[in-house]
Structure 1
């Protein structure tokens, strides 16, 4: 789970929590919201915090930071500056005329 909150000022990694019902292990990443939203290109700090969290998480499983950072470099080179990943504020118009509102 990845979350941002204005009350989160530093990266936090929480877990593991075992969900007995679903039989899965959950980890939570809390990313510093203000540092992300105040950036000219929000993807850059988001990816940095996300991969910083992955380093902390996978350290528990013996995965080296170098492996995570090499993946980060590859992902960053494909995502940063790629218009497919840029936020676009599109207004969505819904047509509810076919529904009876009575």
Structure 2
């Protein structure tokens, strides 16, 4: 199937879906959007990035790294795995000698 054929089929599906789902009206749906959304859903489901790259037809998984962006849920999960540091930061308080030196400048 050609790119034009895929776009035409997607437009037919969009028009049919838009009659039932008012939220779709006025949105721009493209084959690239469907491709990217599918890749993101696979990534969120835990599918390995190399498998996604093969499905997208990328020769090199590095291409997929540039293509797929982590969404907020993935970032939140990554941040939740971090542990807070055990040390407490102390505010610097200069000695009287340092203050005296600075005043003399």
Structure richer in strand, relative to its length: 1
- Larger Rg computed on CA atoms: 2
**TM-score, shorter chain, exceeding 0.5:** no
Structure richer in helix, relative to its length: 2
Q: RCO (CA 8 Å, sep 6+): is it higher in 1 or 2?
A: 1
In which range does the TM-score fall when normalised by the shorter chain? Answer: under 0.3
- TM-score using structure 1 length: 0.26
- TM-score using structure 2 length: 0.26
